[in-house]
Structure 1
Amino acid sequence: MTLVSAVVGALIATFSTAMLDRGRWRREQDEHLVATRRALYSDYLTSLAQARIAFRSLVRNQDLVPAERERSARDSFAACYGARYQVAIAAAPDVVTASEDAFRSLRGIRDLAACGTRAGDEVYAGGRAEYEAALARLREAMRRDLGADRALVAPPLTARTRADRDRPVSELASERQSARSHPFPRTPGGCS
């Protein structure tokens, strides 16, 4: 009987360890995926922003010859293609959709800047507004994918925080100050 108990105990311990290891592995994989996507999204947003800044300069500078303006616009947008392809293969589907919308809107601004549109032109203002709306949708999709909304949710009230909620603020502040000045709890009859 003791041999059977020992075998059952060993099986339970092995199974528990395997389940804990699998859970840890899954958490590590999720953390790695989020970190990878965060870096990718940052790079993509940076490439879009750099291109947008270059287009702003082009529409304000009317001294460039048409060929130079077109080359500058295309060169400024080139980095967006590589980042776009990376997003297409590594991002969540709703991020990819929003990414394509922002990319196409910015490409429209590129075309306007390349053909000599001025900053004050109505068509340029419309293209810029379309891009800004698409960019806002992209950022929102990225935040959702990275779980940024979850970080903003307040933790649930516990019995301790419910009790603290009804206490005067001055009492809570003095208690916290006391805890800071004495990082280790005093024990009756022990060292202080």
Structure 2
Amino acid sequence: MDSVPLASTAAGAIIALSGTLLVDLRREKDGRSRDREVDSWRNSIDFALALDSAHGLLRDVAQSGASAEALQQAAGRALVEARLYQARERLLMSGTPDLVTAGETAFRRLIGIRDVIRAGATIRSNDYHDAYHRYAEAIWSFRMSVGRHFGHQIVGPEHFGMTSWSGREDCDRCAVPQQREVS
């Protein structure tokens, strides 16, 4: 019996199986990479939505006219009810350094709003107003970081008729010197 055809067939089978295995491994790796990107995208969006929800709840607290003790509790509860801490954790664990840095800046700026409300600021107070502008700039920066990370075309504040993301330069209230409201 001639062993050359048998060896050729075996070698061909090994090559074919190796190629199939390599293609499957590559496809699996690409799938895992795609899944991580989808998770990162969802976590970024969830975080931005949680920030927005928490900000809305904090505004409600600031307008409530509650006592100092009630403000303390309600302002802290607003972040929990918005599920901000959970969204932040998911972003911290799934985001790139750029996304995490921008997200953490926005989170800390929202904490600044919470803190001025806890101290008794209303949404009409200068303390709230200043904290809001810092937050607005940070949340827009986070949004743009997410867009850049995922390869989207980025818009600037000028696309919305604004000078900057903070909105300070275009704010009627900031343009007019006002007396400090006692909060």
Q: TM-score range by the shorter chain?
A: 0.7 to 0.9
The percentage of counterpart residues that share the same residue type is 25
Q: Give the whole-Å Cα distance in 2 for the aligned partners of 1:143 and 1:5.
A: 53
Aligned to 2:24: 21
Normalized per residue, the structure richer in helix is 1
Matches of 1:104 and 1:73 in 2, distance apart? 14
Alpha-carbon displacement from aligned partner over 1:44-92 (angstroms, at most 9, x marks no partner): 222211110012223333x211111121101001332232222212211
What is the rounded CA distance, in whole Å, between the counterparts of 1:81 and 1:32 in structure 2? 23
2:86 is matched with 82
Measured against aligned partners, the alpha-carbon deviations of 1:102-135 in whole angstroms (never above 9, x if no partner) come to 1100000001112221223233222111111111
Residue 99 of structure 1 is matched in structure 2 by 103
TM-score normalised over the length of structure 1: 0.69
**Alignment partner of 1:14: what SS?**
helix
- Runs of 5+ consecutive residues of structure 1 not aligned to the other structure: 151-192
User: Alignment partner for residue 139 of structure 2, among 130, 135, 139?
Assistant: 135
1:173 alignment counterpart: none
Residue matched to 1:66:
68
* RMSD over aligned Cα atoms: 1.9
Q: Give me the whole-angstrom Cα distance separating, in 1, the residues matched to 2:21 and 2:141.
A: 41
Structure having the higher Rg? 1
Alpha-carbon offset, residue 148 of structure 1: 4.5
